[in-house]
Structure 1
Amino acid sequence: MGQESAGTRGPWSGDRVRSIVYAGLDSIVTSFSLISSISGGRLSSGDVVVLGLANLVADGIAMGFGDFVSSSTERDMVRKARAVLQQGLRRHIRPQLTDLLHAYQALGMATADATTVVSVLAKYEGILVDEKMSVERGMLPPRQMEVPWKSGLITFLSFVGFGSAPLLAFGLLLPFAVPPPPASSPPPPLSVAATLFNGALASASAYTIGSLLSNLLRLE
């Protein structure tokens, strides 16, 4: 019923793209800002490379682990919600079927068709539970969710990969700035300009702070 099976999950699913875009965009701005602040402190190129790589790996590990923990927590929450829903179906199946029927009607399905669908689903408890999770609560079954360690690994690799090319920051920001749905999002040029302004503002702030601290502390 509109759900993709575990076997047909593509490599560019929504969760994976979200992790790549989030970590990639954050790493580009973070890496560029770090380089700007270090340069403002008049440190050597070697210092810039060493501190930049160390910060990149450390932040990547932190973000990857955070994604792993949040994904694990979300998956556990969905499993508990599914177990509670399954118990409710076994105890009071008629009200649960009625709720699903009303949900289909709210989506625009004809009453006769909705009744037929619900009657068929009532024969298969597992599919019925998954369908109620999706239609009524907007939750995918746990088996269709991204594996937590994969989410963490994707976030880490994306952060390190994009952040390791700070000189290409503005070029790499362009794909992330253009949103796919044109009807509800700002025009691409405006979105690109906003993203570039965000990176430029962060970098300028970091450079200014580094330069001021260097002058105040009289660093060589």
Structure 2
Amino acid sequence: MNDNNQEDLIQEHRPEEIRQRLALAPKRQNISDAVLGGIDGCITTFAVVSGSVGAGFPSSVAVILGFANLFADGFSMAVSNYESSKAEQEFIESIRKSEARHIKLIPEGEREEIRQIFKAKGFDGDLLEEVVSTITADQNRWLDVMLMEEHGLSKSVPKPAMSAAVTFAAFLSVGLIPLIPYIVSTLEMKQQFAASAVLAGTMFFVIGMLKSLAVAKPLIKSGLRTLFTGGAAAAVAYFTAYFLREFFNVSG
């Protein structure tokens, strides 16, 4: 840790700064949606390109199939992410409603749950009772504690539309890159494929590095891991198409 980082941390942990930060509702991050969409978009289109080359199809076929899969798979993935986030949102809301009903019907039982939760954390005696009284004095605070401590759920409720939009945008923007050599160049097919492979590999590595910045992991290791994953998927597509072409004796 350098002096600048330490000074920033000291500033962020002053009482007023802490008070303001904790007063804000927790923000739900969409990093995972962007990373997942970007990696899957690049893998999808480059796998299609690799499969087309392995099958001996002309460049026009690679472009057509690439764009068809880019939009279809991007839409499908966005919808799937939307439904997943929506289900999570509805689950959290259902648990909150259930706990609110329990508080209304059996408040003493719910207070005892709070008491047991904080007793397990080391609170005891008058201090424990004061904690229980403070938490249960406000129903929203009471529900927040029950969600986190009893059910292991976050107060940060997912936003399905935002998750879907981030996934779709990342899928399209990154997935388009392996197709660029087939759109804007007049290179021969082998050269187009080589350029596409370089661009796809670069994107895999960059996405892996960006992911590592968000989760504080080693840059190079994360980049190489993502590069290997994308490269393996493309290799599977290429060799599958190549062997099927040979098996069925299909001419390019």
Q: TM-score, normalised by structure 2?
A: 0.72
Identity of aligned residues (%): 24
Change in Cα spacing, 1:4 to 1:147, as seen in structure 2 (3 Å) is: farther
Q: How far off is 1:97 after superposition?
A: 1.9
Paired residue type of 1:75? Q
1:84 aligns with 2:116: no
1:198 aligns with 2:212: no
1:173 aligns with 2:190: no
The answer to whether the Cα contact below 8 Å between 1:60 and 1:160 also exists between their aligned partners in 2 is yes
CA distance in 2, matches of 1:60, 1:177: 20
Q: SS of the counterpart of 1:218? A: coil
1:94 aligns with 2:94: no
Query: For each residue in 1:38-70, what CA deviation from the matched residue of structure 2 results, as whole angstroms up to 9, or x when unmatched?
Result: 111222222212210110100011111111111
The corresponding residue for 2:8 is none
The corresponding residue for 1:148 is 160
The corresponding residue for 2:176 is 164
> Aligned residue pairs: how many?
209
Greater relative contact order structure (CA < 8 Å, 6+ sep): 1
CA distance in 2, matches of 1:84, 1:55: 42
Q: Please identify the structure whose Cα radius of gyration is greater.
A: 2
Structure 1 gap ranges (5+):
none
The answer to whether the Cα contact below 8 Å between 1:105 and 1:111 also exists between their aligned partners in 2 is no
1:217 aligns with 2:249: yes
Change in Cα spacing, 1:113 to 1:162, as seen in structure 2 (3 Å) is: farther
Paired residue type of 2:57? L
Q: TM-score, normalised by structure 1?
A: 0.81
Change in Cα spacing, 1:172 to 1:86, as seen in structure 2 (3 Å) is: same
Paired residue type of 2:43? V
Match of 1:120 among 114, 134, 157: 134
Paired residue type of 1:53? F
Query: Could you list the runs of 4 or more consecutive aligned residues of structure 1 that deviate by over 6 angstroms after TM superposition?
Result: none
Query: For each residue in 1:56-113, what CA deviation from the matched residue of structure 2 results, as whole angstroms up to 9, or x when unmatched?
Result: 1000111111111111122222222111111111122223223223323444567655
Match of 1:41 among 40, 43, 55: 55
Structure 2 gap ranges (5+):
1-20, 179-195
